[in-house]
Amino acid sequence: MKWARLKSPWVLHFNSGACNACDIEVVALLTPRYDAERFGILLEPSPRHADILLTTGVVTRQCADRLKRIYEQMPEPKFVVAIGACACSGGVFEGNYNVIGGVDKVIPVDVYIPGCPPKPEAIIDGVVKLLKSIEGGKQSGKR
């Protein structure tokens, strides 16, 4: 099981209020130049099949419930990667009236990838670091 998870982590992408910049870089990961599939990473449309949740953007008031629900629908063990300054801390939108803040205000986060937006290389690096720590026995939801 662990071997399979390490060799082919299925990822789900959810945008909880991003400006699209991080999102297009996440999609760029799958395309020929960056080709994240060489690590077995597969983008998965359903939370029920996913191992890793890639989140982008601040959490808006309207998305917070949905983000929580998607996280709860994912099977254990599950890991969360916060991509971009907004997902890490709220970024430029921190303190706005419709914004709750970074993703870790709502669900536990395992890897933070800063940048506005981070380059695709940085995102790959973050996910690979997560895989390494899973290999070392990392449990979901714990630092």
Partner 1 sequence: MASADKILKALSDSLGNRIIQTRTLQPEKTYIQVQTGAHRDAVKIVLEQDKEAGVSAITGVDLGETIELMYHFRTCGTIITIGAEVPKKDAKIESITDIVPGANFHEREVSDLFGVTFEGHPNPKRLVLPEDWPENVFPLRKEVSVANIPSKIINSEVSKGEKQFSSEERLVNIVLGPQHPALIEPEKFSLKVEGEIVREVEPRIGYVHRGIEKAAESRTYLQDIYLVERICGICNACHAACFCQTVEAIMGVSIPPRARYLRTIILELNRIHSHMLLLGHAGLEIGYETLFHYMWRDREPIMDIVEALTGNRVVASFITIGGVRRDLKEEDLPKIKAELAKLKKRLSFYKSLFESDSTLKMRTRNVGVLSKQDALKLCVVGPVARGSGVNMDVRRDEPYAAYNEIPFNVITYNEGDSWARLMVRLDEIGESINIIQYALDHLPSGPYRVRVPRTVQAGEAIGRVEAPRGELFYYVKSNGTAYPERVKVRTPTFANIPSFVRIAEGGNIADVPASFVSLDPCFSCTDR
Q: Name the residues that contact partner 1, by CB under 8 A.
A: 13-25, 27-28, 31-33, 45, 47, 57-58, 60-66, 68-70, 72, 91-93, 95-100, 106, 116-117, 119
Locate 109 and state its tokens: 């986060």
Beta carbon nearer to partner 1, 71 or 79: 71
- Token look-up 């601040």 returns 58
As measured in angstroms, the least distance from the Cβ of 59 to partner 1 is 9
The least CB distance from residue 6 to partner 1, in Å, is 25
Nearest approach, Cβ of residue 70 and partner 1 (Å)? 6
Rg (CA), the chain: 14
* Cβ closest to partner 1, residue 17 vs residue 134: 17
Residue 4: partners with Cβ closer than 8 Å, 6 or more residues away = none
Q: Which is nearer to partner 1, 6 or 122 (CB)?
A: 122
